[in-house]
Amino acid sequence: MSAKADTAPSILPRHVAIVMDGNGRWAKRMFMNRAAGHRAGAQALRNLSEQMNRAGYAMLTVYAFSTENWKRSDEEVAALMGLLREYIQSYINDSKKNNIRICTIGDLSRLDDDLRKKIAYLGELTKNHDGLRLNIAINYGGRDELLRAVKRVCRDAADEKLNPELLTEDAFTGYLDTAALPDPDLWIRTGGDMRLSNFLLWQSAYAELVFSDKLWPDYTIKDLSAAVESFHSRERRFGGRKE
């Protein structure tokens, strides 16, 4: 049996979205500090994305740093930003070793210049890769994204580039951070909590939701495969009814 057959169902959802929750609780359980938990979580993402790429998944979007995470202690925010720099650099260093395309969503304007440049450079390095597309949400919040989109709509309307009366859902989607992406089919949250936490609010209107008790650093491709099996067991009607 092939490695692909061992690690993934034969039919995969086109777009998987994950709230990677539980790093701090994992660290506490392991008698480590929160920074160590975030580092373990970053490595878990690296492992999972590489396995998803080998298994043939097309797209993964993960919640790495939310607009609300700035409320955490200065020490924790600094540790998260340092870890983000480190892993972005490691993805740059390894960009030729795999076929993963790495992109970001969110408002990057609040990040330091050097970090924004690294992110842009990584995107340029991997833009032609045709394996898994990994979208990392950084300084992202669903409400913030919608508000920024509405502001762009208002500017276009004021400049007479858009007739608001003709604005459709499809057209509005073009103003979002995920404008060129399909909506997520499968939306997963680890860590046991059952809430959306402001992640992909517009895009997840008809996503299938799966909540896992696993803390993120312990989440594996086998857990993802179980979520995909649950996804396939459901009837997706998108508001309609199958006769």
Catalytic sites, residue numbers = 21, 69
**Sign of the torsion formed by the C-alpha atoms of 10, 16, 20 and 21:** negative
Q: Under a CB-based contact definition with an 8 Å cutoff, are residues 8 and 57 in contact?
A: yes
The gap from C-alpha 233 to its chain's centroid, in whole angstroms, comes to 23
149-178, pLDDT tens digit by residue?
999 999 999 999 999 999 999 999 999 999
Domain assignments of the chain as residue spans, ordered by start: 11-141+186-232
Burial class (CB in 10 A: 0-12, 13-18, 19+), 161: exposed
H-helix segments, the chain: 3-7, 23-29, 34-55, 74-93, 113-126, 142-158, 169-173, 221-232
pLDDT greater than 50 at residue 5:
no
Q: What token pair was written down for 58?
A: 């097309």
Q: Which residue from 100, 88, 89, 119 is spatially nearest to 52, judged by alpha carbons? A: 100
For residue 243, what pLDDT band results from cuts at 50, 70 and 90? low
Taking each continuous run of H as one helix and of E as one strand, the counts in the chain are 8, 6
Find the helix or strand (DSSP H, E) in which 138 lies.
strand 133-140
Q: Please indicate whether residue 34 or residue 239 has the higher confidence score (pLDDT).
A: 34
pTM for the full model?
0.92
The arithmetic mean of pLDDT across residues 95-116, rounded, is: 95
CATH of 11-141+186-232, one of 3.90.870.10, 3.30.360.10, 3.40.1180.10, 2.60.40.10: 3.40.1180.10
- pLDDT of 3 reads 40
39-89, pLDDT tens digit by residue?
999 999 999 999 999 999 999 999 999 999 999 999 999 999 999 999 999
Please identify which residue in the block is written with the tokens 């998987």: 16
User: Which positions ≥6 away from 187 have C-beta within 8 Å?
Assistant: 17, 18, 199, 200, 204, 207, 208, 209, 210
- pLDDT of 98 reads 87
Q: What token pair was written down for 24?
A: 């701090």
The arithmetic mean of pLDDT across residues 27-32, rounded, is: 97
177-234, pLDDT tens digit by residue?
999 899 999 999 999 999 999 999 999 999 999 999 999 999 999 999 999 999 999 8
- pLDDT of 239 reads 66
Question: How much is the mean pLDDT over the chain?
Answer: 93
Burial class (CB in 10 A: 0-12, 13-18, 19+), 146: middle
Q: What token pair was written down for 187?
A: 């939306």
For residue 6, what pLDDT band results from cuts at 50, 70 and 90? very low
111-154, pLDDT tens digit by residue?
999 999 999 999 999 999 999 999 999 999 999 999 999 999 99
- pLDDT of 4 reads 45
Q: What token pair was written down for 40?
A: 């373990």
**Measured distance CA(16)–CA(224) in Å, rounded:** 9
